[in-house]
Structure 1
Amino acid sequence: MAKKVWVERNKDGSWDAFGDDGAHIKFGHGQGLFDPGDLMKLALAGCAALSSQVAVESTLGEGKGATISVDGTYDDELKGFASFKEQIELDASSAGLHNEDVEKFKERVQKHIERSCMVMHTYEHATPVSEEITVKQ
Structure 2
Amino acid sequence: MTTEQAAPQGAPDVTTNADNTQLWVERTGVRRYTGRNSRGAEVLIGSVGDEASFSPGELLKIALAGCSGLASDSALRHRLGDDVDVTIHVSGMADDEQDRYPALLEELVVDLSALDAAARDRLLTVVHRSIEQHCTVGRTLEAGATVQLTVTGER
Q: TM-score scaled by structure 2?
A: 0.79
| CA offset digits 1:73-112 (Å, max 9, x no partner) | 311222111111111111234xx21112111111111111
Equivalent residue number for residue 107 of structure 1? 125
Counterpart of 1:89 (choices 85, 88, 109) is: 109
Asked whether the 8 Å contact 1:49–1:65 carries over to 2, the reply is: no
Equivalent residue number for residue 72 of structure 1? 92
User: 2-side partners of 1:71 and 1:125: how far apart?
Assistant: 19
Alignment partner of 1:10 is 2:28: yes
SS, match of residue 137 in structure 2: helix
Equivalent residue number for residue 143 of structure 2? 125
**Larger Rg, first or second structure (1 or 2):** 2
Give ranges in structure 2 of 5+ residues lacking alignment: 1-17
Asked whether the 8 Å contact 1:70–1:85 carries over to 2, the reply is: yes
Alignment partner of 1:62 is 2:93: no
Alignment partner of 1:35 is 2:65: no
User: 2-side partners of 1:85 and 1:26: how far apart?
Assistant: 24
Deviation at 1:11, TM superposition (A): 4.0
User: 2-side partners of 1:98 and 1:128: how far apart?
Assistant: 44
- Cα RMSD of the aligned pairs, angstroms, is 1.6
Equivalent residue number for residue 116 of structure 1? 134
Asked whether the 8 Å contact 2:43–2:53 carries over to 1, the reply is: no
Higher relative contact order (CA 8 A, sep 6+): 2
Percent of matched pairs sharing the same residue: 31
Q: Which runs of 4+ in 1 moved over 4 A?
A: none
Equivalent residue number for residue 50 of structure 1? 70
Read off the aligned partner of 2:37 and give its amino acid letter: G
User: 1-side partners of 2:100 and 2:31: how far apart?
Assistant: 23
Aligned length: 134
SS, match of residue 43 in structure 2: strand
Give ranges in structure 1 of 5+ residues lacking alignment: none
Read off the aligned partner of 2:34 and give its amino acid letter: D
Answer with 58-67 or 7-16: which moved more: 7-16
